[in-house]
Amino acid sequence: MKEREIILKEAIERLIENGIEGDYWDFKEQWHGNKADLLHDIICMANNTTTTCNDGYIIIGINDNGILQGVSVADKNRKNQQQLIDFLKDKKFASGIRPTVCVKTFTINDKAIDVIIINNTNQTPYFLSEDYKGVFKANIYTRVGDTNTPKIMTADIDKVEFLFKKRFGLNLSPLSRVRFLLRDLKSLKDWLPMGTDGVHSNNEYLGVYYNEQNPEFTIELKMNENAFDNGKIEKLDQNFYWINKLPIPLHDAYYYKLKVKYFSAVLYQTPVIFADSFRFKRIMWKKEYFSCNNTVIPYCYIEKDSIDFLLDDFLENSQETIKNTKEYEFHSSLNIEKVNWEYGVNNNPYSVVPVFESADEHTKFREYMKGNLAKFFRQIGTYDSENRPEKETECIACSESYIDYLCKVGKDIKSELKNWRK
């Protein structure tokens, strides 16, 4: 069983041990014999109003008293995941947006239970555009405590308001709203260059972007003249060793500072590297360290759930005019076949920079590496700083041999990550 499934099973066991139902979980003795009841339950769970944004769980195999009895293999109404998805696919939901569900089976105390997991998303509220056997169109159903909104009613206005605020990110803190406004490539189309007439750029506001729907949010790019030689990067150093893996050398590279603002308040800032007349634009990725026996090795990394990753996609797709923003085909910064400058498939910075699905995965990988650092350090070897070729002319951090060494380390970390995921 995978780690995520183990964590989920433990969470379900705790809910069962409570013996009562709640805001985002419901007990059923057996699978629904009435399809309208099943649909109604799923919609209520998809629209649950927990502020912690929990997924919804319909736990099947628990009787009315909260006692585990298990599901029957002879239950003719029992559905697997695909059957449940097909069931929802046939129903007419507003704008065609349906709840995302999956089905898991766990064995607890030698008894099998089924769990319908209804993903918590920002697509709320989910509701039908066509009646289905007593589940009415336009009625917004939700769940309060252990009680679903009755089929003949719609949720209270404060619950409906909560669900719509969730859809538009209005219930989030300013920084969380920025993440919401950068959440995907479609959302990036709403970030427009400031001060243009739609076709031409405006030098007065060059490097300033605002969100079309929420103009109080801006992203500003400004050269950091206090870094390096008035902002110009003349040589590589250990902070961005991955540049050494680009297929062509960078020309006129500069160190910029990116600021995310809410009105005049700076919510977030991070360094950025611009080069080749702004054709190359990248966040200066965060750095971590591994240490063993008084040896410390830095490595850069990317976490897909970080604001830096979202801003990297923004940089990759940002345009100087509104016209280009609307017409340009946006793509992920990780899509090495479509980036603005020519990557080689096997010669790109991601070959030496590990990409983690989340900060949580990164943390767990580092825990794994702690128990294997001695072996890893023997594998990669140590850098001989005393005998490096550039000793008389360059500091260690800027030495080409050290940059090459860090690229090798990054590549080996990626290999360790791949093996660990298996």
> Could you tell me whether strands 56-60 and 25-28 are parallel, antiparallel, or unpaired per DSSP bridges?
parallel
pLDDT of amino acid 299: 96
Measured on CA atoms in the order 169, 174, 180, 181, is the torsion positive or negative? Answer: positive
Q: What domains lie within the chain, and their CATH numbers?
A: 3-167 (3.30.950), 178-421 (no CATH)
**Distance of alpha carbon 276 from the chain centroid:** 29
Pairing of strands 101-108, 111-118: antiparallel
Q: What are phi and psi of 135, to 5 degrees?
A: -95, 115
The per-residue pLDDT for range 169-210, each reduced to its tens digit, is: 999 999 999 999 999 999 999 999 998 776 666 667 778 999
Report which DSSP code applies to 129. S
- The phi, psi pair for 193, rounded to 5°, reads -65, 140
The closest alpha carbon to 27, from 64, 54, 55, belongs to 64
CA distance 11 to 9: 5
From the centroid of its chain, how far is CA 259? Answer: 20
Q: 162 with 171: CB under 8 angstroms?
A: yes
Residue from 392, 369, 389 nearest 379 by CA:
369
Token pair for 251: 């020309």
Per-residue pLDDT tens listing for the chain (422 residues): 677 888 899 999 999 999 999 999 999 999 999 999 999 999 999 999 998 889 999 999 998 788 999 999 899 999 999 999 999 999 999 999 999 999 999 999 999 999 999 999 999 999 999 999 999 999 999 999 999 999 999 999 999 999 999 999 999 999 999 999 999 999 999 999 998 776 666 667 778 999 999 999 999 999 887 776 677 877 778 888 888 777 666 678 888 999 999 999 999 999 999 887 777 888 999 999 999 988 899 999 999 999 999 999 999 899 988 999 999 889 888 876 555 444 334 446 788 999 999 999 999 999 999 999 999 999 999 898 888 888 777 788 888 899 999 999 999 999 999 999 98
